[in-house]
Amino acid sequence: MLGHPSFALLLCSRVLANMGFHMLGVAVGWQLYALTGSALDLGLVGLAQFVPMVLLTLIVGQVADRYDRRLIAAVCQFTEAAAAGLVTRVVPDEVTLSEARRLAQQIAEKPPMAVRLAKESILKAFDTTLEVGLDFERKAFYLLFATEDKAEGIQAFLAKRPPTFKGR
């Protein structure tokens, strides 16, 4: 199985993510102990992590046996995307178009140059390496600091009024 590059990359990423999760847990534990000096508080955090896993194990086993695993995987991926902030809202089919228009209106009210460069940055991410994409984002960020819209945004914020962006 390790002869398949895709599987090897998946396995490597899962191992590294698991190691990162555990390192984060240790760092949080150290910080908690440094703040409280209480081993009891540290134990309660461990218990709060352990109890849901034990309680949900039987339920998850039943779900895995009764439902299509592709559906379970899709729900898990959606949950991870929502937790990562990639999905912020789910709407019924009948209001999808009106919500999309409302979101488009919100984006249209932002500084035009910033919106354009953000879109270019997103599109560039599909065609380039991470290093090139980050370099493009950094240059776009610096460019936006020299715009009249940046100054207008700051002035409008300080004056507690809506900004009037001109795309310059």
Structure-token pair, residue 128: 């380039």
Give pLDDT tens digits along the chain (168 positions).
Answer: 667 788 888 888 889 988 998 898 888 888 888 888 888 888 888 888 888 888 888 888 888 888 888 888 888 888 887 777 777 777 888 888 898 899 888 888 888 888 888 888 888 888 888 888 888 888 888 888 888 888 888 888 888 888 888 878
**Contact in structure between 137 and 121 (CB atoms under 8 Å):** yes
- Enumerate the domain spans of the chain: 9-83, 94-159
CB 150 within 8 A of CB 112: no
Structure confidence at residue 1 (pLDDT): 67
User: Which of the four CATH numbers 1.10.10.60, 1.10.3720.10, 1.10.12.10, 3.40.50.1700 does domain 94-159 have?
Assistant: 1.10.12.10
Cα 53 from Cα 72, distance rounded (Å): 17
- How far apart are alpha carbons 165 and 168 in whole angstroms? 8
130 half-sphere exposure, CB direction, 13 A CA radius: 0
Q: How many CB atoms lie within 10 A of CB 168?
A: 10
Cβ contact 119:131 at 8 Å:
no
Both tokens of residue 129? Answer: 């390496």
Q: What CA–CA distance (Å, rounded) separates 73 from 38? A: 39
Predicted pLDDT of residue 19: 92
Of 120, 105, 117, residue with least CA distance to 146 = 117
Residue 37 · residue 27 · CB < 8 Å: no
Residue 146: the pLDDT is 83
Query: Contacts for 152-155 with beta carbons within 8 Å, 24 or more apart?
Result: 153/111
